[in-house]
Amino acid sequence: MQNPLYLPRQAGFSLIELVIATALSLILVAGVATVYMGSRQTYNARDELSTMQENARTAIKVLTKHLEHAGYTTPARLPLAKAFYVEGDPAPVSKSCGGGASSIAISDPDDLAATLDNDDPNNSGDSIGVVFFADSALAVDCGNELMPLACQAQAAPHPEYAQIYNTFYVATVAGMPNLLCAGSRSTAPLEVAEGVEAMQLAYGLDQNADGTVDNYLDAAAVKLANRWDQVRTIKASLLLRSREPVFNTAEARTYTLLGTDYSRNDRYQRTVHTAVIYLRNLAVNEGV
């Protein structure tokens, strides 16, 4: 008698099991990808934030260092009509100090940005220009360029020849917003800090000569009241932008700089930084 044919039971996965396993794998991969992308975005955000903070520190440090020179008249107390180069003032003209030395080296005097109030949220904000006399103790502009010895106060044919102009403004360079300085001894503007998208400035006035700032006004108000001689401090507020987009989708946000609102709707990360700069040469207790 023949034994019945034995067919072994098939081993492996059924179609339904394969579909379920594939689906679970896809869910797992999607989860891992989500975690990875989230971690990457967090890392990028932290990296960009660190860079923005460093750029802000650099910008404020440079602004403080060079704006503090406003109104320096040397120990001889040379006459200076105004410590600020303001919109409407005559453009500086280079003077010959003898021996081939000239007082201004910048190729285009129009690059020297005058003190100007600009509250248009679609623009880059305010600009500022300050004036001081060069001597053996202080003879460089914001680009670290030296005033020739023949043009410094102790040797210049006329005190006016010894004046140095330092100006600051925000402009876009190669697609990136930057804080720039244009000094009268530099041949061209210099990039100071990357990522500065806007700048607003307010001027602290001591209106009763008691050594204390009474209120802050923008440049337009100070100019209208002709109170540049009462300015003792400058409040600077900067809007910093990340180098690269950080967020996955555009985010609508508003940033306020000294009362001026800047609305943005994109993927860039931004921060606001504000500092007060004390103008030592214009302080009441120094007799100015």
Of 22, 113, 27, 132, give the one whose Cα is nearest residue 69.
132
Q: Is residue 7 part of a domain?
A: no
**For 28-40, what is the mean pLDDT?**
65
Q: Is residue 2 part of a domain?
A: no
Question: Is the pLDDT assigned to residue 152 strictly greater than 90?
Answer: yes
Cβ(106)–Cβ(97) under 8 Å?
A: no
Per DSSP (E only), the strands in the chain are: 96-98, 101-102, 128-133, 163-173, 176-183, 190-194, 196-205, 215-217, 231-241, 251-257, 260-266, 270-278
Q: Is residue 3 part of a domain?
A: no
Query: What total number of domains does the chain contain?
Result: 1
For residue 257, how many C-alpha atoms fall within 13 Å in the half-sphere facing its CB? 31
| Alpha carbon distance 42, 251 (integer Å) | 16
Going edge to edge, which strands form the sheet with 231-241?
Answer: 215-217, 196-205, 231-241, 270-278
Q: Is residue 30 part of a domain?
A: no
Q: Is residue 6 part of a domain?
A: no
Q: Is residue 1 part of a domain?
A: no
Give 101-140 as a DSSP string.
EES---S-GGGSPPBB----TTS-B-BEEEEEE--SS--B
Q: How confident is the model at residue 37 (pLDDT cuts 50, 70, 90)?
A: low
Average pLDDT, the chain: 90
- pLDDT tens digits along 12-32: 557 776 777 677 777 876 766
| Alpha carbon distance 286, 41 (integer Å) | 52
> Residue 284's pLDDT is what?
42
| Alpha carbon distance 67, 140 (integer Å) | 13
Q: Minimum mean pLDDT among 30-34, 46-50, 164-168, 279-283: which range?
A: 30-34
Q: Is residue 26 part of a domain?
A: no
**CA dist list (Å): 121 to 48, 114, 180, 222, 263:** 23, 19, 19, 21, 7
Range of the domain at 258: 36-286
- pLDDT tens digits along 112-139: 999 999 999 889 999 999 999 999 999 9
- pLDDT tens digits along 251-276: 999 999 999 999 999 999 999 999 99
